[in-house]
Structure 1
Amino acid sequence: MPSPAKLTQGSTFKHVVIMSMTGAFGLMCMFIVDLVDMLFLSMLGEKEAVAAVGFSSAIMFFTISLSIAVSISATALVSKAVGEGDIELAKRRAVNVLAFGIVFSSVVVWLLWPKIPHILLFVGATGLTLDLATGYLQILILGMPAVMIGMIGSGIMRALGDARRAMYATLIGGLINAVLDPIFIFGFGLGVQGAAIASLIARFSMVAVSYYGVVYVHKMLAEFDLMDFFKDVKCISVIAVPAMLTNMSSPLANAIVMEHTSSFGDDAVAAVAIIGRVIPVVFAGVFALSGAVGPILGQNYGAGRFDRMHRAMSSAVIYAFGYCVVLCLVLYNMQDWLVAVFSATQESADLIHFFATFVSFSFFFQSLLFIAIAAFNNLGKPLNSTLLNFGRATLGTLPLITIFALFMGAEGILFGQAVGSVIFGCLGFYMARNYITELEEKEARNLTPSQYHNYDEML
């Protein structure tokens, strides 16, 4: 049986650090493998291979974002039920979110697979780069249902406060991928397709790990009942659909950036692809914030502990600031090594230097947006997350990168993104803090959370 709602007790800062760092470690392992993919492929001496993975990343991030969105629904619903002390409801919601994710991801694969070449053409891939990217994606996307199951399983365990086991799925998947990469890329001479096959096998390994944690350790899956599933589809969708839209905005922003970058040539695209691989590794602790803060807010929301919710928000900001200061300094001192290890051309090297020197600290402001998104997703206002992230992806990306690129060239694309992160990060955090205050005022008027935010009645 799962332990009590332990996130409603103890230091909120400690919970934020533990939840974030374990989540970051799992993400880091997964993204380090992507970085190693890029490194191995760069050893082939074909910049088209590196660019192909760069173009593919925008599409893969889209599919992973959908999986994360459904896992957000699992975390929000399960953590709230655990906070209220209703374990049976938590189990029912867990199994129904899992069923929802499997069906949904299978449909996405069926719809997306034949359209991959057209999508890559749209984002700017051509010639040999297009052929390599198509082969890479058509293999890798078949693993989306496995990623979905792994993400949902991790989300359920995070909702219980079991950050360590939630980390295992991505950690073990990343290790398997790292072992298989050189075997398929060099040993079998499959190049880009070999990297895709290794990643596909690793993603299916995530299923076994997450299933073990949820079913055998926590015993958190109720027996599936079709009628209960149809009852829960509404409350799952109320959170998952806006979260999908929220997460789809990031691939949209990445696609916009990649399309603009392609006008500066393959060297610029390769640089952005390398930066795109470095960012999740260096800033994994920031990307993990949303998944860390969400369960803490969810459990305390269910328990009516608004004082702890305010402290959790403040703790998250302190953690994010300290993390970004340290890691930005590390990145600044590693920039020459990155240029050398990826055998970057002069144009690619200039962009990498510019990012490490002037742009990287904007991720602190992006962390404020992640915290706000976690708050809205777990406290009954997922549409606010959608509006904020789409605002950043459109108003905070397209006009800014267009304007700055006119004066700064390819560097202006990176700088424009940073400015958008500052604007929408500050706005989102301000809105989230005010929203929690509104919830607290409603509680003071003797309304329980379930009365004014019942997920079953929001549609």
Structure 2
Amino acid sequence: MNKMNKKILQLAIPSIISNITVPLLGLIDVTIVGHLGSAAYIGAIAVGGLLFNIIYWSFGFLRMGTSGLTSQAYGKRDLDEVVRILVRAVSVGLFIAALLFVFQYPIEKIAFYLLDTSEEVRSLASVYFRICIWGAPAVLGLYGFVGWFIGMQNSRFPMFIAIMQNILNIIFSLVLVFGFHLKVEGVAFGTLLAQYGGLLMAFVLWLRYYKKLRVRICIKQSLELRAMRRFFSVNGDIFLRTLCLIAVTTFFTSTGAKQGDVVLAVNTLLMQLFTLFSYIMDGFAYAGEALSGRYAGAGNMTSLRRAVRTLFYWGTGLAFFFTLLYGMGGEGFLSLLTNNQDVIEEANTYFYWVLAIPFAGFAAFLWDGVCIGVTATRSMLYSMFVAMAGFFLVYFVFQTNMGNHALWMAFLIYLSLRGLLLTGWYFRFVPGNR
């Protein structure tokens, strides 16, 4: 294995493991309340979890932007700037958390007005929301640390933190629910404590393994106006790009729901295959963030191009692998998720769209990582905007004749457009590719 492959795998594999642990936090909560005897508890956790996923997903730029800026400073060996970026990221995360505290009441009212639930589920979900909102400083502060660790070419620490959070969540939730009989409150407090445990672990790891950087901390320089402008410029592009992503995924889900319970179930199950693929590709995208930023910061365009080529070798190979995997075992996987034969039979009529996902989508994931690393976030935003427009255009043109097939075709075109547009950006703007 050559050195570049080794560097990519050292970054990608821990990130993949971290990604896989993400849905476990929600799954653990649902499993615990699923044994409390009422479906309303499950609905409350599902609704509350969905709300926080949307809120925190919107601020994912704190991780991504921090990763790109840190990796470039690391490549330049500018350790003062490396520390300043961490201070900026955590400070901005805490500021956003404070705004969430201030506006939690209108956020709750608007969210539960838009979410159509029973009165019992709404009441329980409100309890969950009012407790878990106090975890915002931990979640958003941890975004800064995780992005910083990845930018420092260290994806092992985020993996350790993610695993530890799951363990704490299991322990705290089980004790509070079954030991102290707190029900939804117990699950919420268990999640809250696990979130702060993750932030504390990140801080301890930073103090232990990056202690030489402590003397470089300067709050005044870190929050200097010009530097903050660049920080917000990069992260503003990522924020708007994330809103476009949310628009596409929300429309996909809501449109499927309008076509009936069977179509909603089919789309939900088939999307699990895309989600599985995305967990793997995101790991390689994180490697792309770290390495491309490092080489761009060092001005080493030869290594940057080599890293991109190697990433795309892995992406192509993984696309082949997942296409074969889904082609041979996709129906068996669906059977593990449901025993409803009507849903499985209906899913088979859409399965060829799923087989096209790996090749349609792998480039988009990898280019996102490279763009974040070299902070070409404006190009990433433009490509996302065009791809989103393509998604809605294709769906509304073909929906009358194709129904749900039009939704899947639009989704594949959206993925493909992102990859194609960013490929054009790379060959146009990265030196040595003309």
TM-score range, shorter chain: 0.7 to 0.9
- Counterpart of 1:302 in structure 2 is 297
Offset from partner CA, 1:87-113 (integer Å, 9 cap, x none) = 122122222222122212332453355
Aligned-pair CA distance for 1:306: 0.5
**CA–CA separation in structure 2 for the residues paired with 1:416 and 1:156:** 35
1:315 aligned onto 2:306: no
- List aligned pairs for 1:221-240, cutoff 5 A: 221=214, 222-231=216-225, 232-240=227-235
Aligned to 2:11, the other structure's residue is in SS state helix
Change (3 A) 1:378 1:251: same
**CA–CA separation in structure 1 for the residues paired with 2:34 and 2:356:** 27
Aligned-pair CA distance for 1:421: 1.0
Match for residue 217 of structure 1 among 205, 209, 218: 209
**CA–CA separation in structure 1 for the residues paired with 2:41 and 2:272:** 14
Aligned to 2:60, the other structure's residue is in SS state helix
**CA–CA separation in structure 2 for the residues paired with 1:182 and 1:265:** 36
- Counterpart of 2:321 in structure 1 is 326
Moved more, 132-141 or 363-372: 132-141
Give RMSD over aligned pairs: 3.6
1:175 aligned onto 2:170: no
**CA–CA separation in structure 2 for the residues paired with 1:347 and 1:46:** 27
- Counterpart of 2:353 in structure 1 is 358
1:432 aligned onto 2:396: no
Aligned-pair CA distance for 1:142: 3.5
**CA–CA separation in structure 1 for the residues paired with 2:283 and 2:38:** 33
Change (3 A) 1:172 1:364: farther
Listed as ranges, the gaps of 5+ residues in structure 1 are 1-9, 442-459
Change (3 A) 1:333 1:11: same
- Counterpart of 2:147 in structure 1 is 155
- 8 Å contact kept, 1:283–1:324: no
Offset from partner CA, 1:165-204 (integer Å, 9 cap, x none) = 2322222223333555666677777777665544333222
Aligned-pair CA distance for 1:257: 1.8
1:100 aligned onto 2:95: no
**CA–CA separation in structure 2 for the residues paired with 1:402 and 1:45:** 43
- 8 Å contact kept, 1:41–1:49: yes
- 8 Å contact kept, 1:362–1:422: no
1:375 aligned onto 2:366: no
**CA–CA separation in structure 2 for the residues paired with 1:277 and 1:187:** 34
- Counterpart of 2:259 in structure 1 is 264
- 8 Å contact kept, 1:41–1:191: yes
**CA–CA separation in structure 1 for the residues paired with 2:9 and 2:25:** 24
Match for residue 63 of structure 1 among 55, 61, 65: 55
- Counterpart of 1:452 in structure 2 is none
**CA–CA separation in structure 1 for the residues paired with 2:42 and 2:377:** 36
**CA–CA separation in structure 1 for the residues paired with 2:173 and 2:259:** 30
Aligned to 2:246, the other structure's residue is in SS state helix
Change (3 A) 1:138 1:73: same
Amino acid corresponding to residue 313 of structure 1 in structure 2: V
Amino acid corresponding to residue 119 of structure 1 in structure 2: A
- 8 Å contact kept, 1:30–1:173: no
1:11 aligned onto 2:3: yes
Identity percentage of aligned residues: 15
1:206 aligned onto 2:201: no
How many residues are matched?
429
Aligned-pair CA distance for 1:237: 1.0
Offset from partner CA, 1:332-375 (integer Å, 9 cap, x none) = 55555554554464555456556665315424433312322233
Aligned to 2:385, the other structure's residue is in SS state helix
- 8 Å contact kept, 1:242–1:386: yes
Amino acid corresponding to residue 361 of structure 2 in structure 1: Q
Aligned-pair CA distance for 1:207: 0.5
Amino acid corresponding to residue 74 of structure 2 in structure 1: V
Moved more, 48-57 or 143-152: 48-57
- List aligned pairs for 1:336-355, cutoff 5 A: 336=331, 338-343=333-338, 345-346=340-341, 348-350=343-345, 353=348
Amino acid corresponding to residue 414 of structure 1 in structure 2: W
Match for residue 110 of structure 1 among 93, 99, 102: 102
Aligned to 2:389, the other structure's residue is in SS state coil
Change (3 A) 1:114 1:243: same
Amino acid corresponding to residue 425 of structure 1 in structure 2: G
1:125 aligned onto 2:116: yes
Aligned to 2:308, the other structure's residue is in SS state helix
- 8 Å contact kept, 2:166–2:194: yes
**CA–CA separation in structure 1 for the residues paired with 2:279 and 2:39:** 26
1:73 aligned onto 2:68: no
Match for residue 420 of structure 1 among 383, 408, 414: 414
Amino acid corresponding to residue 384 of structure 1 in structure 2: S
* Structure 2 length-normalised TM: 0.83
Amino acid corresponding to residue 417 of structure 1 in structure 2: F
* Structure 1 length-normalised TM: 0.79
Offset from partner CA, 1:409-452 (integer Å, 9 cap, x none) = 445433431232122222222223322137x89xxxxxxxxxxx
- Counterpart of 2:244 in structure 1 is 249
1:397 aligned onto 2:391: yes
- 8 Å contact kept, 2:138–2:199: yes
Moved more, 333-342 or 74-83: 333-342
